[in-house]
Amino acid sequence: MRLRFLAAAAVAALLTGAGIGMAASQSTAPEPTENDAKAFIAQVEHDLAREDEYASRAAWVQNTYITVDTNWLNSRASAEFNAMAVKFAKEASRFDTVKTDPVTRRKLDLLKRMVVLPSPSRAGAAEELARLRTTLVTDYSTAKFTYKGKALTLDDMEQMFRTLRDPVATRTLWEGWRKVSSPQMKEPYSRLVTLANEGSRELGYRDTGALWRSWYDMPPDKFAARTDQLWSQVEPLYKDLHCYVRGKLSEKYGDAVQPKTGPIRADLTGNMWAQEWGNIYDIVAPKNLSAGYDLTAAMKQHGYTPEKIVRTADAWYQSIGFAPEPATFWERSQFTRPRDRDVVCHASAWDLDAKDDLRIKVCFTVSADDFFTAHHELGHNMYQRAYSVQPYLFQGGANDGFHEAIGDFAGLNALTPGYLKAIGLIDHVPGPEADIPYLLHMALDKVAFLPFGLLVDKWRWEVFSGAVDPAHYNEAWWALRKRYQGITPPGPRPANAFDPGAKFHIPNNTPYMRYFLANLYEFQFYRAACRQAGWTGPLNRCSIFRNRKVGEKFEAMMKMGASKPWPEALAAFTGEHDIDAEALVEYFAPLDAWLKEQNKGQTCGWQ
């Protein structure tokens, strides 16, 4: 995580700089030149880089030690950033018609798109927006639900969801989390939307959703259409998986709990948001076929701890040629939930100084999920360090989907039986008979996630555009969840429910389309890496562990950062110039054929 904040002292320096800022915006100012544009970019990069480390450390403290004071400090820094980011974006727009070199032009364009929630320029708006953002995240991160006399945190409930098979209990926890975490968010979230849209319009966008869609090196409407095209490629595979899982759940719980037709009941999927279904593999596992091992059990048997999981992930990156995490990483990261304070437990990776102060913030237990997440989060760190060689405005992913995909690509490799045997977690690599169980388990997370990854921002796009008003927030949310996922709540929702807010990325205002894109990019990366490694067997059995040649080419792409449009970065590693779901469909093709056989005679889909 890089936080791009600017302190008040830098504000004054920027606005009074020679020929830049307020003076340059006056009506008597001469027409800007290419040299003016370059001078503007140089000063902005200098000041942003100087202030970023300070603000990042303040945010780290607030995330790992939530108090009234750390919330105040984080809100103050966020307000300063938003106010200045809007000023920078407007200032960059002054140079839209100036002819300049491609590097300066790209930096100007990136500068206009760097803010997620632009605050209006009027007095007090940035401070109000910052307070709302901090309040929403704090409400989410400190919520606890009392169950059987015990106050449960979200990660307590997530842990229970992994193995809980009582539909009364799962419904109680599912509804309980939504009761304590999000109803109070509805009003402040609505106000936040109003402020962000006002700021976005000042930048020349219809609304904040259009701003977010502008980040992908194509017009916003074209990007929205491209996401629909990508969904059409994977929707048939998802529906086959949905049909099979629904049938198994009905066998397990009976038609009264989970009907054989229609949507799946959300709380039966082993995940608080029904976004990934891997935790219910025991219910849907194919008869007479076995993956040959239980990764969570193997980790516990071999004495894994949260830190050992992270060290194993670091060793994977080292095996393909990346430098190890610095010593300070192990001293300063948060690997487990502290017992003495509230923290933001949602996993994240941090780069605090654009050099080598890399960290992760997680609340790990010993599980296969966290084994994958460790490889994922360290992927962010490796990307952050790789592009730190770039100028400040290029220190970011080719797009936000790249940042997520790089970690997922590593996680995909980390789950292969060949890798697990190589590091001593399993004794032997199962034969071909294990491929269907392996692919099914993988699809329960990767394929099941795709519609959820798509709909979260589709909901926000509707909210930002005004197509959905606050009175219909929840109704619209469940309409999208039913349309794309075929998921329904376990019972009627209260009139005051704000179920989108029960997902961290909504109160945290983290754009979510990146995760949908990442789930496709990662398979493009994976297939390209396997081809480079000369792999000719089933794609799901390929591992690039210890392949430094592939790692070298992968790191070369990462070092590009945001310096080139994402199609050029994609082509640098894969040879392909557009995102495509074909690699994912190819990876799961053997499973899809098997699913179609299992679903014969079933009524698939949902109305």
Residue 449: pLDDT band by 50, 70, 90 thresholds? very high
What are 515's two structure tokens?
């995760």
Task: Tell me the CB-side half-sphere exposure of residue 464, using CA atoms within 13 A.
Answer: 27
Percent of the residues in the chain that have a pLDDT greater than 70, as a whole number: 95
Query: Above 50 in pLDDT, residue 150?
Result: yes
Distance of alpha carbon 304 from alpha carbon 297, whole angstroms: 10
pLDDT for residue 89:
81
- Percent helix, strand and coil across the chain, each to the nearest 5: 65, 5, 35
pLDDT for residue 2:
53
User: How far is CA 70 from its chain centroid?
Assistant: 24
Closest by alpha carbon to 167, among 489, 444, 480?
Answer: 489
- Convert the pLDDT of each residue in 42-69 to its tens digit: 999 888 777 777 788 889 999 999 999 9
Per the listing, tokens 């989108």 go with 500
Distance of alpha carbon 535 from alpha carbon 531, whole angstroms: 6
pLDDT for residue 126:
87
Percent of the residues in the chain that have a pLDDT greater than 90, as a whole number: 84
Distance of alpha carbon 373 from alpha carbon 345, whole angstroms: 13
Distance of alpha carbon 579 from alpha carbon 595, whole angstroms: 26
Do 524 and 583 form a contact (C-beta atoms < 8 A)?
Answer: yes
Q: 307 catalytic, yes or no?
A: no
pLDDT for residue 1:
56
Q: What average pLDDT does the structure give for the chain?
A: 92
Average pLDDT over residues 184-204: 95
Alpha helix ranges (H) inside 302-399 = 306-319, 327-332, 368-386
- Convert the pLDDT of each residue in 495-527 to its tens digit: 999 999 999 999 999 999 999 999 999 999 999
Catalytic entry in 505, 568, 576, 582: 505
Distance of alpha carbon 178 from alpha carbon 497, whole angstroms: 7
Catalytic entry in 51, 276, 325, 377: 377
What is the rounded (10 degree) CA torsion for 277, 278, 281, 283?
Answer: -20
- Convert the pLDDT of each residue in 461-474 to its tens digit: 999 999 999 999 99
SS3 category, 235:
helix
Query: Above 80 in pLDDT, residue 10?
Result: no
Query: Above 60 in pLDDT, residue 18?
Result: no
Closest by alpha carbon to 516, among 375, 364, 404?
Answer: 404
Per the listing, tokens 């005679």 go with 601
- Convert the pLDDT of each residue in 343-393 to its tens digit: 999 899 999 998 899 999 999 999 998 999 999 999 999 999 999 999 999
Average pLDDT over residues 330-339: 96
Q: 377 catalytic, yes or no?
A: yes
Report the relative pairing of strands 487-488 and 264-265 from DSSP bridges: parallel
